[in-house]
Each structure stands twice: as structure tokens, then as C-alpha cells.
Chains A and B, each alone.
Chain A
């Protein structure tokens, strides 16, 4: 029954993606993007792509989020859409 887990994960991924786009606070958006990346990572591990998942964990969920937050501190959290 692994595909049920799979579908559950995929659903959450989609929700995270939509959330990252629709929240009105860029910091939340950054965190949601991190979560999105992390869940993606799980999916890929499950598909046997450990190297890619490892990288995505380091980059997508880690470094990217750090960059994002660094940039937001230089700019603004405010957004209209």
C-alpha cells in the first residue's frame, strides 16, 4: 500500500506549493518553500534517488531557505499577492 503514502505525500507537496505562492508574507513563503523541498526529498528517496534527495535536502531545504531569508532581511516581507 505504499502508493497511498505516495499520493498523500504528493498531495501535501501540491498544497505546500500552492501555499508558498498564495501566502501574503514572504517569510512564510520561504518556509513553505523549504517544506515543499523537504517533502520532495522524501518522495525522491522513496523512488530510490538518494543522492538527489540528499542534495535537495542540503540545497532546497537548507541553503536556498537561508539565501531566501537573507534576501528578505535586505528587502521586505510585504507583498500584495
Chain B
């Protein structure tokens, strides 16, 4: 891998599909409160879009837009965001992950702020999951040698 076939049709379809998929993924993450979905599902779809890009184009293509260091950073950043929101609640004087307390710093009432907190962590989960999926796939399919596009 990666570049199984260098097919213009596939690349063209990809060029159109990937933004749509990514947009849908963001929708899924953000709209988890009202419909099925959430950080994890959205993150998976986002990650799948990158994988699709990698299959359709080349590993270099993805790496240029999405450098490995950045990706690794994102892996840790998403979950760090999650844990940090929890810790923020703790610092503000409530229990860990008790988003209700966030009303001290956010302009909303304690119940609404819980939904905001939920959104925050969903975003964190989404970031992590998409980055993780990409990272695992990259490592698996190239056996850790990111440069060579061998099959």
C-alpha cells in the first residue's frame, strides 16, 4: 500500500466525496444531542474520510495535509481536552466531570451548561477518534514506514 490503483475516476469521486463526508461527520458530532450520533461516530467517519483519501491518492498526499506530528498531537489532544474539562470542573470546586459547575464561567444556566459540557467532550472524543483511526491505519498498512508506498 498505499496507492492500490491510480485511477482518475476514483480520485475525482474522492475529491467530491471527502468534503461531504467530513461535513457529515462534523454534523454527527455536533448534533449528537438531538439525533443518533456523537463524538465517537463522527470521529470514526472523519477518520474514514482520511483513510479514503489515503487509498485514493497517496500516503504523501495525506501526510502533506495532515503531518504525522500533528496527527499524533491530535490523538493526545482530544482526550486531553476531555480530561481537562473534567479537571476544570474539579478546579471550580465540584466533582470531576460535573459540568454543572461550568455555569460559573459560561453564560448559561446549570442545566444548559451540562449540554455545553457534553458538546465539549464530544468534540474531544471526535478529534481523538479520527486521529487514532488514521494513525492506526497508517501504521498497520505501512508497517510503520510511512515514507515508502510499498504494497
A73 close to B1 (CB less than 8 A)? yes
B133 at the A interface (CB under 8 A) = yes
Q: Which positions 37-88 of chain B face chain A at CB distance < 8 Å? A: 37-38, 40-41, 44-45, 47-48, 51
B contact residues vs A (CB 8 Å cutoff): 1, 36-38, 40-41, 44-45, 47-48, 51, 133, 136-137, 140-143, 151
A54–chain B nearest beta-carbon distance, Å:
5
A59 at the B interface (CB under 8 A) = yes
Question: CA–CA, A50 to B140, complex, Å?
Answer: 30
Q: Number of contacting residues on A, CB 8 A?
A: 15
Question: CA–CA, A71 to B136, complex, Å?
Answer: 10
B42–chain A nearest beta-carbon distance, Å:
9
A1–chain B nearest beta-carbon distance, Å:
26
Question: CA–CA, A71 to B141, complex, Å?
Answer: 6
B51's nearest neighbour on chain A, judged by CB, is A66
Question: CA–CA, A51 to B45, complex, Å?
Answer: 14
- Among B48, B141, B142, point to the contact of A58 (Cβ < 8 A): B48
- Among B1, B37, B47, point to the contact of A63 (Cβ < 8 A): B47
A22-53 CB mask vs B (1 if < 8 Å, else 0) is 00000000000000000000000000001101
B41 close to A71 (CB less than 8 A)? no
B34–chain A nearest beta-carbon distance, Å:
12
Question: CA–CA, A27 to B51, complex, Å?
Answer: 18
